[in-house]
Amino acid sequence: MFRQRRLLWFWVGFGALVASLWFARPADRAALPLSDAEDRYFSNLQATLRRVSGLPCAAIDLDRLDHNLKQAQSALSSEQRLRIVVKSLPSLGLLRYILQKTGTRSLMVFHAPQVPLLLRELKDLGSIDVLLGKPAPAEAAYQVISAYPDAAQQVSWLIDDGNRLSAYREVARKTGRVLSVSIELDVGLHRGGIRSDEELRTMISQIAAAPSELRFAGFMGYDGHVPHAPGLPKKSALHTALVEVQTRYQHFVDVAKAAQPDWFSASSRKLVFNSGGSRTLPMYAGLPTVVNDLAMGSGLLRPASFDDEALAAFLPALWLAVPVLKKQAEPPLPFLDGMWGLLRLWDRNLAVGYFLYGGTWDAPIVYPTGLRAGWFHDGPIRNLLPNQQLLTGSTRVVAEVGSFVILHPREADNFAALSDLYAIRNGQVEAHWQPLSVLN
């Protein structure tokens, strides 16, 4: 009697376990379709890419890029200039398109060896002006200026401290060129640059003492900390942080002006006061500021990690497309062959395997719906086959060998990992670009 009761409890418990496991089954991810418009958008994109490529490639939607360029420009006053961040948009074809579309000729460069290539290749557009986004070692500046002497003036060489200034004076002496220099200000990011009035006055007087070697071009004070300002409501915390940046910036400009009023006179060459980035540029619309030069790169393509509210009016315009190389019903997994069947019974998203041409792509999959990476999504086994990444999905996933899986890259420059960048408008490839090699 007692034994029978125990057996009964065992079966009740077992039944409850099986039932709860069954009810906890993951939903079929392919059952959450995209909207009709999105589905049409991605299936057209896929069809266009299949006509030109069977290999992993990146696609830029030119209509969306145009829209984003207009958004960026509309945030600027007539006194302000848009500066394009090369490191986030590393393709000559893409940069040329953006410069032509916007009319700006201002670039921000982070890797000095790219300077001669950019100045040479984009020369036909008119005089390109380059501001460095981080200081280049003086040796690199020397190499660039020796190879391309116009870079002494066309580039505003970024100076973050007194040692760098002395090293650049030496470059000026050795190359016999007057170097255009921009002073980096710490406006709150604390990544380097001038922090005190004293430091700034010293640097200004050192530049003033070397007119045959150095020419003051302006300031660069990046506000990259602003999007991370703590406080609620978030929007007003960011606004307060941005206003503080303007106050600091204005203060440094006043200190420099008091030391060298001539440099700031209407008759002298216009000084560049740069700040901003994708996450803050839209917030400058209507903001009282001394900043007359605003940088933007990533936001123009609005990759996945740029889902900030400030960029709400910007559209995702960059996709990575990776073809399905192999499709396997009930794909086995090494060492787990037996278990796998059981798991598949439980999770219908493991029914079909798709091996991609390449991997591992750390980017959200946007098309087709229902695919996911590796085993149990973000589980401990991310990928056993890095050059042929395994995705799985239910039998409802619409993908075949040769069709593209479309990913939304987290960063704009992720396309640089691929050799082909297709610029698409109205379902047609309008241009075929290559990324800039990091070796340039």
Ligand X SMILES: Cc1ncc(COP(=O)(O)O)c(C=O)c1O
Return the closest-CA partner of residue 185 out of 153, 224, 238.
224
Q: Which one of 68, 71, 80, 88 is in contact with ligand X (CB under 6 A)?
A: 88
Q: Which one of 56, 90, 116, 133 is in contact with ligand X (CB under 6 A)?
A: 133
Minimum CB separation of residue 132 from ligand X in Å reads 9
Peptide bond into 135 cis (omega under 30): no
Q: Which is nearer to ligand X, 133 or 218 (CB)?
A: 133
Q: Which one of 69, 241, 295, 310 is in contact with ligand X (CB under 6 A)?
A: 295
Return the closest-CA partner of residue 51 out of 332, 384, 429, 353.
429
CA distance 347 to 327: 18
Minimum CB separation of residue 312 from ligand X in Å reads 16
Q: Which is nearer to ligand X, 68 or 349 (CB)?
A: 68
CA distance 207 to 202: 9
Q: Which is nearer to ligand X, 180 or 278 (CB)?
A: 278
In sequence order, what are the beta bridge partners of 356?
324
Q: Which is nearer to ligand X, 218 or 277 (CB)?
A: 277
- Which structure tokens are listed for 2? 């007692």
* Number of residues located near ligand X, criterion CB under 6 A: 12
Minimum CB separation of residue 251 from ligand X in Å reads 19
Minimum CB separation of residue 185 from ligand X in Å reads 11
Dihedral (Cα; 318, 323, 327, 332), 10-degree rounding: -70
According to the binding rule CB under 6 A, does residue 221 interact with ligand X?
A: no
- Which structure tokens are listed for 404? 């593209």
Q: What residues numbered 298-327 form the site for ligand X, per CB under 6 A? A: 298-299
Q: How many Cα atoms are found within 13 Å in the side-chain-facing hemisphere of 215? A: 16
Q: Which is nearer to ligand X, 144 or 296 (CB)?
A: 296
Q: Which stretch binds ligand X (CB under 6 A): 20-28, 291-299, 335-343, 368-376?
A: 291-299
- Given a contact cutoff of 8 angstroms between Cβ atoms, the answer to whether 194 and 183 are in contact is yes
Q: Which stretch binds ligand X (CB under 6 A): 169-177, 234-242, 289-297, 376-384?
A: 289-297
Minimum CB separation of residue 14 from ligand X in Å reads 56
Question: If you write DSSP's letter for every residue of 212-266 in order, what string do you get?
Answer: TTEEEEEEE---TTGGG---SSHHHHHHHHHHHHHHHHHHHHHHHHHH-GGGGST
Q: Which is nearer to ligand X, 151 or 295 (CB)?
A: 295
Q: Which is nearer to ligand X, 102 or 278 (CB)?
A: 278
Binding site for ligand X (CB under 6 A): 85, 88, 108, 133, 222, 277-278, 295-299
